A and B are shown apart, each in its own frame.
Chain A
Amino acid sequence: MTLVSQTTESGGQNTPLKFLKTYPMEIILAALVIFLIFVAPGFASTGNVLNVLRTVSMLGIIAFGMTAVIISGEIDLSVGAGAALAGCIVAWFADRFTDVFGDWGAVTVGFAAALLLGFMLGFLTGRFRQWFNVPTFITTLALFAALRGVANLITGGFPMSSFPIGFDFLGGGYLFGIPFPVYIFALTFAGMHFLMKYTSFGREVYAVGGNMEAARLSGIDVWRVKALTLGLTGALTAVSGTLIASQIGAGTGTTATGMELDVIAAVIIGGTSLFGGKGRIWGTLIGVLFLGCISNGMTLMNVSEYWQYVVRGGIILGAVLLNQVLERVR
């Protein structure tokens, strides 16, 4: 496979330096983990590790989709609100349609509806860009506000929690000792990694983001590619939103606040270029784990929540700076 990512080397350097330049975020993540093991009380305990993985999963499922969107040269700011809406839709179906579809039937139909809506919103965002030349930044900023409103309208502003018994397993349960969302997370990673690396669609995403006009003149349906990546992210957002609703046991319009920021941050920390055309799903995995570890570590070390925000901001800027600097020395 031939995706040129940050692993491209000019050659002729000694190996340790080359390693450092090729895997900067991997090394920093490893250093962070080692640091936290020694400094943050209980960081390495099994319970805590599983907890981090569970938290990271909700974020990561969306972040893998977002990686494709950003590589294609677009952005989606609505994922936090989209996740909240998806949870509310599932809860609403569980509340209203149990008579029609049965306990699990209602939840399933609700999930399907949320999935479809998520996909359609993303897909239409892409088409809006094509038809009316509205930047996805604007469309998804509008959705960012509107979807949270809709979520609260559905639930009437209160948490809706009439889920069937056992529904909490999806977000909060364990399978073979590992939190269930982690499996979905791993599956999404594998799927997106495969999609971006081994399919012609994945290659089209890189081409469209790298040079839209060249891609178009090569006979690639560039708008379809963009709309599909956005739709895919919308669908993954619905998946994550459902898992979150299951974990907290309710659909509520106020969950996943600020999640879009973390998702985009993870993608950027993972080395994906906001200018499009460059990035890897693997990098996003590192970015997601990095964010998860650092916020967990800070909580364990009793760092105030306000400081955590400051640190997160610093990390985003630092990661971009690091990538820019590495770009220059390569």
Chain B
Amino acid sequence: MSNPQPRSAALQGVQGRLDFRVVTKRYGPTVALSEFTHSFAPGEVHALMGKNGSGKSTLVKLLAGVTEPTSGIISVNGEDRHFTSPHDAFKAGIVTVHQELSLVPELSVGENIFLGRLPHRRRAGFSVVDWPGLHRRAGELLADMGLAIDSRQPVSALSVGQQQVVEIVKAMSFNPSILLLDEPTSALASREVKQLFALIERLRARGVTMIYITHRMSELFEIADTCTVIRDGHYVGSVAMKETTPPAIVGMMFGDAARATRPPRRQLDRATPVLEVRNLSRSGHFHDVSFDLYPGEILGIAGLLGAGRTELMRAVFGADRIDSGTVAFNGRDMTGASPRDMRKAGLGYTPENRKEVGLVQSLSTADNLCMASLGPISTKGLISRRREQPFIRRQIADLHIKCGDPELPVSSLSGGNQQKVVIGKWLNRQPSVMFFDEPSRGVDVQAKRQIFDIIWQQAADGLASLFVSTELEEVLEVADRILVMHHGAVVAEVDPTKTDLTELYGLCMEGAKQ
């Protein structure tokens, strides 16, 4: 075979030593990774832990060659490297398996593994794809990893778990000495996780160094040799899994999370709920969820990404269909209502991804602020400028939206101000219930405080809110009561004054108290 192809048998002889020396990465004024120094020993599985925004993904990007460090040195196998592109990382023997699957569903397993470097042979003077050779080699690779998957079947015929495994086989076909696994289990069922772990064990036995990123504490103790924790871009520490405990790791991740100043919790009148959700299910997303929401209450929903928090909110709001269960609003049955009906009933929803679905970026701040209130600002379908102005001015003043000219496109605003526009759009409806989905995502600390102040202020005025955030400290701080979701089910209800981060984090990850 003239075409140099990865040899499945040549996985031996890898080194896989990885050193970070005072590596810093800045994005403008923000320091994503600060003077990170650590040596990852070869041939081990290194878990990388840290809450959202801690710098984990920056570390992955640096290793994958997606971005370059601002300063500092990364060395692979004792050799200093400077990656300017993913290709450089590749050449250094580092292959990344990203969180999102990157397989082409319609193509065969074998073709996916060799995508972009299909083997060729000559037939009647033409260079054509060597299909038999490709599948033979793919078959060897799969067998080598102990997998019984036919390389000829399309990827779409595989389960998500098998696809994840194929993704790793593809990565291994490049014969790397270092393998980066970015949340490989996030979409997998537990049985599939076992299969994946078997593969990881096999690779470890061959001396491949693996950096394993996950949120699931139990997995760490099952698969990892060491755990390295970063927080706010700083290296916190590295421990051997044999010598640590889950609470110790959570402690390292969160540090002494200072509870910021929130107004004193008020005694809530939980007599008549404004929103009653009963046995709500949507297959594949969440099941049998029930809760009540009371006037003036901020009900937090905690859970990991994919636990079904956003899906639940969207379904209650009528943005997605539900399979069973009921939703009642002020005692009135609203099951199966549309967002339009919900808006009319007095419910507002600020979605998690404001750029994609919260705002119309091509329109102005003023237009976006009025978007849910076109009825009130117009008479017989005719927009009245006179009536429109208070709707714009009031929110800009109340929410401290820094926008200069409200007639300019909303896309010119900072993230925090855009989020306030989304909130202002709904406050213009004077809702009695608001769903806040990740209102603090991607906004700076000051804007975050302001947004929380708005939520508390509105709650004091009687607004009932659902509050979702991936940041557990935020949920603890903002909410009056917390529901914990795990794999689409509500597994616990906790009082934020009677719990701590370790317990909450444990609940979110394990779905039950340890």
With A200-B375, A211-B357 already in contact, the answer to whether A217 and B408 are too (CB < 8 A) is no
Q: Which of A3, A198, A213, A217 contacts B363 (CB 8 A)?
A: A3
CB-defined contacts of B382 to chain A, threshold 8 Å:
198-200
CB-defined contacts of B137 to chain A, threshold 8 Å:
none
| A192 on the B face (CB < 8 A) | no
Instruction: Report whether B363 and A4 are in contact in the complex, using a CB–CB cutoff of 8 Å.
Output: yes
Q: Which of B367, B374, B425 contacts A3 (CB 8 A)?
A: B367
Q: Which of A206, A214, A220 contacts B359 (CB 8 A)?
A: A214
Instruction: Report whether B344 and A2 are in contact in the complex, using a CB–CB cutoff of 8 Å.
Output: no
Instruction: Report whether A4 and B362 are in contact in the complex, using a CB–CB cutoff of 8 Å.
Output: yes
With A4-B407, A206-B363, A213-B357 already in contact, the answer to whether A218 and B319 are too (CB < 8 A) is no
With A210-B361, A211-B359 already in contact, the answer to whether A199 and B383 are too (CB < 8 A) is yes
B501 to chain A, nearest CB (A): 32
A93 to chain B, nearest CB (A): 33
Scan A161-198; emit 1 where CB is below 8 A from any B CB, else 0: 00000000000000000000000000000000000001
CB-defined contacts of B349 to chain A, threshold 8 Å:
217
CB-defined contacts of A214 to chain B, threshold 8 Å:
351, 356-360, 371
Q: How far is the CA of A221 from the CA of B372 in the complex (A)?
A: 11
Q: How far is the CA of A201 from the CA of B360 in the complex (A)?
A: 16
Interface residues in B342-360 (C-beta closer than 8 Å to A) = 342-344, 349, 351, 356-360
Interface residues in B387-409 (C-beta closer than 8 Å to A) = 406-409
Instruction: Report whether B360 and A207 are in contact in the complex, using a CB–CB cutoff of 8 Å.
Output: yes
B319 to chain A, nearest CB (A): 6
Closest to A210 in B: B360
Q: How far is the CA of A199 from the CA of B338 in the complex (A)?
A: 23
Interface residues in A192-249 (C-beta closer than 8 Å to B) = 198-201, 203-204, 206-207, 210-211, 213-221
Q: How far is the CA of A277 from the CA of B367 in the complex (A)?
A: 12
| B496 on the A face (CB < 8 A) | no
Q: How far is the CA of A155 from the CA of B179 in the complex (A)?
A: 72
CB-defined contacts of B362 to chain A, threshold 8 Å:
4, 206, 210-211, 277-278
Q: Which of A8, A199, A218, A221 contacts B425 (CB 8 A)?
A: A218
With A211-B360, A218-B425, A221-B340 already in contact, the answer to whether A200 and B381 are too (CB < 8 A) is yes
Instruction: Report whether A203 and B356 are in contact in the complex, using a CB–CB cutoff of 8 Å.
Output: no
With A8-B409, A214-B359, A214-B360 already in contact, the answer to whether A219 and B381 are too (CB < 8 A) is no
Q: How far is the CA of A213 from the CA of B349 in the complex (A)?
A: 12
CB-defined contacts of A203 to chain B, threshold 8 Å:
367, 370-371, 374, 383
Instruction: Report whether B409 and A206 are in contact in the complex, using a CB–CB cutoff of 8 Å.
Output: no
With A4-B409, A219-B339 already in contact, the answer to whether A200 and B383 are too (CB < 8 A) is yes
A10 to chain B, nearest CB (A): 9
B195 to chain A, nearest CB (A): 36
B123 to chain A, nearest CB (A): 39
Q: How far is the CA of A4 from the CA of B406 in the complex (A)?
A: 11
Interface residues in A94-152 (C-beta closer than 8 Å to B) = none
Q: Which of B343, B385, B409 contacts A218 (CB 8 A)?
A: B343
Q: How far is the CA of A8 from the CA of B362 in the complex (A)?
A: 11
Closest to A276 in B: B362
Closest to A5 in B: B362
| A310 on the B face (CB < 8 A) | no
The residue among B317, B338, B356, B363 with the most chain A CB atoms within 10 A of its own CB is B363
Q: How far is the CA of A220 from the CA of B374 in the complex (A)?
A: 9
Instruction: Report whether A219 and B342 are in contact in the complex, using a CB–CB cutoff of 8 Å.
Output: yes
Instruction: Report whether B408 and A8 are in contact in the complex, using a CB–CB cutoff of 8 Å.
Output: yes
| A1 on the B face (CB < 8 A) | yes
CB-defined contacts of B317 to chain A, threshold 8 Å:
217
Instruction: Report whether B364 and A207 are in contact in the complex, using a CB–CB cutoff of 8 Å.
Output: no
B345 to chain A, nearest CB (A): 10
Instruction: Report whether B374 and A204 are in contact in the complex, using a CB–CB cutoff of 8 Å.
Output: yes
Closest to A219 in B: B343
Q: How far is the CA of A218 from the CA of B140 in the complex (A)?
A: 54
CB-defined contacts of B372 to chain A, threshold 8 Å:
218-219
Instruction: Report whether A2 and B366 are in contact in the complex, using a CB–CB cutoff of 8 Å.
Output: yes
Q: How far is the CA of A193 from the CA of B357 in the complex (A)?
A: 27
Q: How far is the CA of A215 from the CA of B364 in the complex (A)?
A: 14
B418 to chain A, nearest CB (A): 12
Scan A1-33; emit 1 where CB is below 8 A from any B CB, else 0: 111100010000000000000000000000000
Q: How far is the CA of A200 from the CA of B339 in the complex (A)?
A: 18
CB-defined contacts of B357 to chain A, threshold 8 Å:
211, 213-214, 217
Q: How far is the CA of A27 from the CA of B161 in the complex (A)?
A: 60
The residue among A198, A203, A221 with the most chain B CB atoms within 10 A of its own CB is A203
Interface residues in B402-422 (C-beta closer than 8 Å to A) = 406-409
Scan B456-494; emit 1 where CB is below 8 A from any A CB, else 0: 000000000000000000000000000000000000000
| B180 on the A face (CB < 8 A) | no
Taking beta carbons and an 8 Å cutoff, which residues of B are in contact with A?
Answer: 317, 319, 338-340, 342-344, 349, 351, 356-364, 366-367, 370-372, 374-375, 377-378, 381-383, 385, 406-409, 425
Of the A-B pairs whose beta carbons lie under 8 Å apart in the complex, a sample of 27, sorted by A's number, is A1-B383, A2-B363, A2-B366, A2-B367, A3-B363, A4-B362, A8-B409, A199-B381, A199-B383, A200-B375, A201-B381, A203-B370, A206-B367, A207-B367, A207-B371, A210-B362, A211-B356, A211-B361, A214-B360, A217-B319, A217-B357, A218-B371, A218-B372, A219-B372, A220-B371, A221-B338, A277-B360
Taking beta carbons and an 8 Å cutoff, which residues of A are in contact with B?
Answer: 1-4, 8, 198-201, 203-204, 206-207, 210-211, 213-221, 277-278
Q: Beyond the given A4-B407, A207-B363, please list 10 additional residue pairs across the A-B interface where CB-CB is below 8 A.
A: A1-B383, A3-B364, A203-B367, A203-B383, A210-B360, A214-B356, A214-B371, A217-B339, A219-B344, A221-B338
Q: What are the 7 closest A-B residue pairs judged by CB atoms, nearest first?
A: A219-B343, A210-B360, A200-B374, A213-B357, A211-B360, A210-B362, A277-B362
